[in-house]
């Protein structure tokens, strides 16, 4: 079955073509808006929607051309229905529904989280079910038990900022640009992760929830104090110590979640899952705990349409379809 997938939940316009039965990604195109939002130090929703409108046809056409197929060959359209920025979602979701209606192709609406939960299945080495998944991005930091391609139970989530959001805010504070994750991680590689004892929010003993706003405030206070006193900031050490505080909590809570669910497999997804330190530390912790670890390549960690095509295929097989008047949603029922 040939699937055209569309993703526009935030600031990337993405389209992909998949051969679902053989699980082959024939093309995956992502048009990034980073340059548009960089000077604001974060995403401006209205600008994001406008950019999606400008790019959607071009990105879809590119995905079809890269895959060497025509629109007539497509047997299913799969599009992100939510969660995300509603203005952004509406562009991709309405485009998908309209194309499906005009062409008489079935269409399925996909939860963005479901895409991240299954993104590791786009790789050759796939986990069996069930597994514990950490989804960690600019908008979400959540733990799930994934029992089948269409059954997920949330185990914990952030009570305030998402981990990626914390990376972006620390980068903004240090004038390092947007998006913050990659650049903070680069500076962090040159610093000493034990230089500054930033706090780790473990919350209550058995809680699988996260909290990153206290850490962010602690970094802000540290930076302001040094600026006021005219002391050199030591950006490398700040980035390394901040990153260590985030990674430490993510790794330990994920291992606890897997143990308490008797899972032997851990999966990661979302933009922050491309962080080198997080990948290395999670791999080590899994080895230590006797668990298998699966994380997709960074291109399938950050927002992409291939994962939406894969999740859409499974939900379609399970009986899901969208109606022309179905709406996009900003908050995930999964989360
Ligand atoms: O999943 P994603 O592409 O988009 C949404 O959240 O919608 O994730 C983007 C987030 C941003 O906050 C970005 O700063 C973060 O992922 N990110 C990283 C890295 N690469 C991207 N954070 C830490 N280290 C990285 N290498």
Instruction: List per-residue pLDDT tens for the chain, 335 residues long.
Output: 999 999 999 999 999 999 998 889 999 999 999 899 988 888 999 999 999 999 999 999 999 999 999 999 999 999 999 999 999 999 999 999 999 999 999 999 999 999 999 999 999 999 999 999 999 999 999 999 999 999 999 999 999 999 999 999 999 999 998 889 999 999 999 999 999 999 999 998 889 999 999 999 999 999 999 999 999 999 999 999 999 999 999 999 999 999 999 999 999 999 999 999 999 999 999 999 999 999 999 999 999 999 999 999 999 999 999 999 999 999 988 88
CATH topology of domain 125-295: Nucleotidyltransferase; domain 5 (3.30.420)
d(CA 110, CA 95): 14
Dmax (CA) for the chain in angstroms is 67
State if residue 274 touches ligand 1 by the CB under 6 angstroms criterion. yes
Closest-CA residue, ligand 1 atom 1, reads 271
Distances in Å between the Cα of 316 and the Cα atoms of 27, 93, 150, 191 are 20, 16, 10, 47
Measured by CA distance, the residue closest to atom 6 of ligand 1 is: 138
CA-wise closest residue to 149 among 178, 121, 172: 121
Q: Report the atom number in ligand 1 closest to the C-alpha of 136.
A: 1
Pocket flag, ligand 1, residue 161 (CB < 6 Å):
no
**Three-state secondary-structure class, residue 157:** strand
Q: How far apart are CA 110 and CA 307, in angstroms?
A: 10
Whose CA is closest to atom 16 on ligand 1?
A: 271
Neighbouring residues of 278: CB distance < 8 A, sequence distance ≥ 6: 136, 246, 247, 250, 251, 268, 272
Distance of CA 13 to the CA centre of its chain: 14
Our answer on whether the CB atom of 108 is closer than 6 Å to any ligand 1 atom is: no
Q: Whose CA is nearest to atom 10 of ligand 1?
A: 138
Ligand 1: does its nearest atom lie under 6 Å from the Cβ of 272? yes
175 phi and psi angles, rounded to 5 deg = 55, 45
CA distances from 286 to 16, 124, 240, 263, 283 (A): 32, 20, 22, 11, 5
Counting atoms of ligand 1 from 1, which one is nearest the CA of 163? 12
For residue 247, the model assigns a pLDDT of: 98
If one counts every other C-beta atom within 10 angstroms of the C-beta of residue 334, the result is 19
How far is ligand 1, taken at its centre, from the CA of residue 263, in Å?
Answer: 26
Angle at which helices 45-67 and 86-103 pack, to 10 degrees?
A: 40
**Residue 57 CB partners (closer than 8 Å, separation 6+):** none
- C-alpha angle 159/250/189, rounded to 5°? 120
Nearest CA to ligand 1 atom 5: 138
Beta carbon of 278 within 6 Å of any ligand 1 atom: no
> Residue 199 CA to chain centroid, in angstroms?
24
Our answer on whether the CB atom of 10 is closer than 6 Å to any ligand 1 atom is yes
Q: Is 164 close to ligand 1, i.e. is its CB under 6 Å away?
A: yes
User: Mutation test of ligand 1: which of 45, 138, 180 has the most ligand atoms closer than 8 Å to its C-beta?
Assistant: 138
Say if ligand 1 is within 6 A of residue 31 CB. Answer: no
- C-beta of 180 in contact with ligand 1 (< 6 A): yes
pLDDT at 38: 87
Report the predicted TM-score, pTM, of the whole model to 2 decimal places: 0.95
CATH 2.40.50.140 fits 2-117+302-317, yes or no: no
Q: How far is CA 187 from the centre of its chain?
A: 22
Q: Are 136 and 272 in contact (CB under 8 A)?
A: yes
- Rounded distance from Cα 331 to ligand 1 centre (Å): 19
In this predicted structure, what is the pLDDT of residue 206? 87
213 alpha carbon – ligand 1 mean position (Å):
17
In the chain, residues under CATH classification 3.30.420.40 are 2-117+302-317, 125-295
What span, in angstroms and rounded, lies between the C-alpha atoms of 16 and 64? 8
For residue 42 and ligand 1, the question of a CB distance below 6 A is answered with no
Ligand 1 proximity of 167 Cβ (cutoff 6 Å): yes
With a 6 Å cutoff on the Cβ, whether 185 touches ligand 1 is yes
pLDDT at position 311: 98
CA distances to 104, 174, 282 from 1, in Å: 15, 48, 35
């Amino acid at each position: 079955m040939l699937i055209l997938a569309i993703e526009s939940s935030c600031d990337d316009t993405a389209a992909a073509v998949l051969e679902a039965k053989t699980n082959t990604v024939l093309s995956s195109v992502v048009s990034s808006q980073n340059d548009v939002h960089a000077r604001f130090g974060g995403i401006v929703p209205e600008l994001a929607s406008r950019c999606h409108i400008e790019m959607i046809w071009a990105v879809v056409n590119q995905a079809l051309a890269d895959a060497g197929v025509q629109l007539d060959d497509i047997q299913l359209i799969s599009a992100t229905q939510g969660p995300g920025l509603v203005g952004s979602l509406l562009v991709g979701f309405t485009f998908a529904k309209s194309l499906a209606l005009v062409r008489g192709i079935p269409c399925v609406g996909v939860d963005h989280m479901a895409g991240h939960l299954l993104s590791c299945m786009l790789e050759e080495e796939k986990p069996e079910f069930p597994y514990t998944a950490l989804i960690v991005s600019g908008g979400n930091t959540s733990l799930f038990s994934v029992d089948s391609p269409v059954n997920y139970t949330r185990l914990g989530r952030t009570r305030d900022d998402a981990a990626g959001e914390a990376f972006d805010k620390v980068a903004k504070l240090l004038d390092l640009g947007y998006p913050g994750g990659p650049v903070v991680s680069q500076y962090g590689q040159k610093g000493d992760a034990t230089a500054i004892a930033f706090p780790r929010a473990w919350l209550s003993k058995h809680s699988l929830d996260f909290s990153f706003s206290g850490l962010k405030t602690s970094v802000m206070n540290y930076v302001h104090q040094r600026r006021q006193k005219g002391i050199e900031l030591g950006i490398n050490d700040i980035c390394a110590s901040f990153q260590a505080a985030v990674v430490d909590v993510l790794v330990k809570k994920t291992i606890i979640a897997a143990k308490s669910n008797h899972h032997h497999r851990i999966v990661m997804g979302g933009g922050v899952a491309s962080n080198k330190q997080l990948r290395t530390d999670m791999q080590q912790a899994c080895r230590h705990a006797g668990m298998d670890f699966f994380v997709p390549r960074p291109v399938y960690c950050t927002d992409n349409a291939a994962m939406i095509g894969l999740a859409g295929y499974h939900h379609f097989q399970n009986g899901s379809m969208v109606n022309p008047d179905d709406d996009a949603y900003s908050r995930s029922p999964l989360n």
